[in-house]
Amino acid sequence: MRSTSKAAVLVAAGLVLVTGCGGAQSDGKEAAGRAGKPSATPSTGLTRIPGVGQKLQSRIPADSRQVIAVYGDGENATTSTVVLYTKDSDTEDKGPKGGDAKGDGSTWSRERSWEAHNGKRGWTLHHHVGDKRSPVGVFTLSDAGGVLPDPGAKLPYTASAAFTPPSYWAKRTRHDFDYVIAIDYNRAKGVSPLDPTRPEGESKGGGIWLHMDHGSGTSGCVSLSKSGMRYLLRTLDPAQHPVVVMGDKAHLEA
């Protein structure tokens, strides 16, 4: 009886959240880089996250060694680029001529990038229910899940059919939530992404996820390819305190 009740709760919670999140399906493409995109930056030795001004840069926790940067193409645009950066470890490595080269743990490396989509109406500093815009800011990444079995995620992963989008959604969105990573915007940490708790109130929205892309804008989430989601799930490590910094170019650089 207890397991049946728990499943029912998850299904109910899933129906609440998926209607507040924006759907997506795999596009299978890794970003080759658009004009003005961060793909043109060096891949190693970065002293800060490119394209991110001091206002948001200062909100990245000092202990975070994994940062997903979402570079929106414009305040009202639906397209963006997702880039994974990792901070160098505090270890000693052999230099090119066999000498010791100590990594001081203060520089970033650009690991991977993917084309992506964000809210149907772009970005906002003041996200609220129904605005179809993705929230600008820096958010921790604590929990994951999806319809599909755990692909080897390091984040706590909840596999459940309750992630399945409602049948009345467009057919192209059927696999939107095969894999999701919860963005800690107005949600309780340490619980399934399906949990409907909204600590700052219902009006501020929630259910903002990284998930699979269906080729167009979302209701506030950020969507990318299935291969990208699998890579992130297998790479993001709670011990590295991963965060996402996200927004359109102007807001990111402010």
Q: How confident is the model at residue 18 (pLDDT cuts 50, 70, 90)?
A: low
Residue 89 has a pLDDT of 74
Q: In the block, which residue shows the tokens 């995109």?
A: 37
Amino acid in position 99: G
For strand 243-248 and strand 157-159, is the pairing parallel, antiparallel, or unpaired?
Answer: unpaired
In this model, does residue 97 exceed pLDDT 80? no
Residue 5 has a pLDDT of 37
| Model pLDDT for residues 134-181, shown as the tens digit of each residue | 999 999 999 999 999 999 999 999 999 999 999 999 999 999 999 999
- Region 208-230: what's the mean pLDDT? 98
Structure-token pair, residue 39: 């793909």
Residue 105 has a pLDDT of 67
* Residue percentage of the chain with pLDDT more than 70: 77
H/E element, 86: strand 79-87
Residue 188 has a pLDDT of 97
21, 214 Cβ separation under 8 angstroms: no
Q: ∠65-220-178 over CA atoms, to 5°?
A: 75
| Model pLDDT for residues 197-209, shown as the tens digit of each residue | 999 999 999 999 9
Q: In the block, which residue shows the tokens 């599909």?
A: 148
In this model, does residue 113 exceed pLDDT 70? yes
What whole-number distance in Å separates Cα of residue 145 and Cα of residue 160?
8
Residue 204 has a pLDDT of 97
Residue 59 has a pLDDT of 98
221, 134 Cβ separation under 8 angstroms: yes
Query: What pTM does this model have?
Result: 0.83
Residue 99 has a pLDDT of 38
Distances (CA, A) of 144 to 1, 79, 155: 26, 23, 6
